[in-house]
Amino acid sequence: MRQPILALRTFAVGACIALCAALPAYAGLTNDVPSCYAANKIASPQVPYDQLIYVLIDQTVQLDATLQKSVLDNVQSMVKPGTKFVIAEFSAFSQGHYLNVLNTGIVERPIAAADEGNVVMSRLRDFRTCMQQQLVYGQRLALSATAKVLKSGTSSLDQSDILMALKSVSPAVAQDKAAHKLVFVVTDGLENSSVTSFYAHNAVRHVNPDVELKKAQDNDLLGDFGSARVYVLGAGVMQPSTNGSTAERNGYRDPKTLIDLKQFWSGYFSRSHAQLVEFGEPALLEPLSW
């Protein structure tokens, strides 16, 4: 069972018990972060958050320690007051793996300075303490879920339905009420499904971006991300092969392969009403930003 913010003296016992009881039943699909407004019986603002970060992690990708740290650092930096976060994982609907939302949380916006005079001073003090602890709790929850998926990454899964996963989550992103939306996709970008495969002879093949985009369109795999910003980390990452050429055994990616891969995904997100801000090959050169 996920516990609420233990150090919060602002949480009344009854409210705390109610929150604890509610979390397990809907964990992942609704807000897993207890509300400081509800705990202190203060009217919540009509817009409790204006930023959304949707983290989608490919279970078939194994990242080294440096890249894993980059993922975690970027997630932590984006979870701040006024932010909703969603942490999800995917591979293919097989072998006990499927698209799954691990945690959703809202770190609420603080009370507007102009409205603080309408709140009893003692309650306002408790609310501020609660908000400090809520931020810590929200970041830890997001990081814990992210680290869990990164740690479980494996190359033993046969397929990776990246296109289907993206199409599936895109409506949730597009329909969210946040003014600023960011999708952080941790994946090698190497589709391997019944629709198409970016592999050949145990290595990454040269993809034709136009041909692959037509396949995505013909199979109704384009999404609608509602003009979200997209960052990809891990592109081209692949475990070294045990056979083939020296380059294949060492996991080498030639520039042409990466250029074509980036062109495909840039086209995919453009047609899915999103902006591909950075395509990490495999690392991001700039941190995530709104």
Residue 290 lies in a domain: no
Separation between Cα atoms, residue 204 and residue 236, nearest integer Å? 8
Q: What's the domain count of the chain?
A: 1
Least confident of 42-56, 152-166, 274-288: 152-166
What is the amino acid identity at position 254? D
The share of the chain scoring above pLDDT 70, in percent, equals: 81
Residue 287 lies in a domain: no
Provide the pairing of β-strand 100-107 with 83-90: antiparallel
CB atoms under 10 Å from CB of 134, counted, come to 25
Residue 260 lies in a domain: yes
Q: Is the pLDDT of residue 3 over 70?
A: no
Length of the chain: 290
273 or 245: which leads in pLDDT: 273
What pLDDT is recorded for position 1? 37
Provide the pairing of β-strand 199-200 with 203-204: antiparallel
Separation between Cα atoms, residue 190 and residue 92, nearest integer Å? 13
What pLDDT is recorded for position 250? 52
Domain of 22 in residue numbering reads as 13-279
Query: Average per-residue pLDDT in the chain?
Result: 86
Residue 4 lies in a domain: no
